[in-house]
Amino acid sequence: MDIIKNRKIYYSVSLMIIIVGLIMWMVNGLNYGIDFTGGTSIQIKIGQLITVDEAREIVNEYDNEASILHIGSNKDEIMIRSKKDFTSQEINEIVEKFQEKYNITEKEFQSEKFGPFMGKEIRKKALLSSLIEVVAMLIYISWRFEFKFAIAAIMALIHDVLITFSIYAIFKIPINSAFIAAILTILGYSINDTIVIFDRIREENRLNPKTDAGDIINISIKKSLTRTINTSLTTLVAVVLLYIIGVEDVKILALPLIFGIISGTYSSLFIASPLWYEMTK
């Protein structure tokens, strides 16, 4: 496996996904979730446990993209969150249909309308958190390795964020506050694999100072490959299971993590080290 020889292929794959994602973003925009757009929240006491699919039979008549969550200690209440600005009449109709279908004697519900102010606050905090995280990583990697390693690692992290962002833009997956949390998690996860490979490269450089940098990278990745794949697969299986069996809130967090883990593993193996090689030529 000659990573350096084939590095332009790996660059091209990533660049193609990112370009398509950016084009889709410019043409169609992003599918912002309720945290960013505002909307309507309706909490209804059903008095019994019902499935999300059963609740969706009613809710889909008004918004087939609304999220439905179970709440309460007995999970006998549901919360409907929609990006649409429901009128009072529509809210009452939804509640009455649940009453009729599930023989609810007492009409217990709460509704709330809210604007997108949360989205602006989340974006500001996320950008600040990401900036602090990137600067801290830049300082740490420069101190432990060298500045070129730090630049390559940061570029690989930007790659991971852009890939995840592009997939969301291409497939119009809703972006919400959990997406922001997942991005911050991806940054921390991805840098771990990259540092392991960089550490191996540094060690091989020390043992074989006359060996070509490209060969050093190939040897280092080959020696780190099993560890990197095993770590990523273990984490990926756990997150995929969470997505399959978890409730909707968990799925919203798990989905970007799945994309981020795959992208982070790819960049650690095929992007970060070749970028360092480009700077050392």
Query: Angle, nearest 10°, between helix axes 147-171 and 248-270?
Result: 140
Residues pairing with 114 in the sheet? 39
Tokens of 77: 């209440």
What is the set of domains in the chain, with CATH numbers?
Answer: 39-114 (3.30.70), 118-280 (1.20.1640.10)
Q: Quick check: 138 pLDDT over 90?
A: no
* Confidence label for 186 from pLDDT (cuts 50, 70 and 90): confident
Give the mean pLDDT of 157-177: 90
DSSP-based three-state secondary structure for 43 = strand
**Element of type H or E holding 126:** helix 117-144
* Average pLDDT score, the chain: 88
* Confidence label for 123 from pLDDT (cuts 50, 70 and 90): confident
* Confidence label for 118 from pLDDT (cuts 50, 70 and 90): low
Under 8 Å between Cβ of 273 and 221: yes
**Residue 126 identity:** A
Give the mean pLDDT of 87-112: 89
Give the mean pLDDT of 65-79: 85
Give the mean pLDDT of 180-185: 84
Q: Quick check: 18 pLDDT over 90?
A: yes
Give the mean pLDDT of 213-238: 91
Please indicate whether residue 43 or residue 134 has the higher confidence score (pLDDT).
Answer: 43
Q: Quick check: 210 pLDDT over 90?
A: no
* Confidence label for 251 from pLDDT (cuts 50, 70 and 90): confident
Strand order in the sheet with 109-114: 67-71, 77-82, 39-45, 109-114
Under 8 Å between Cβ of 4 and 217: yes
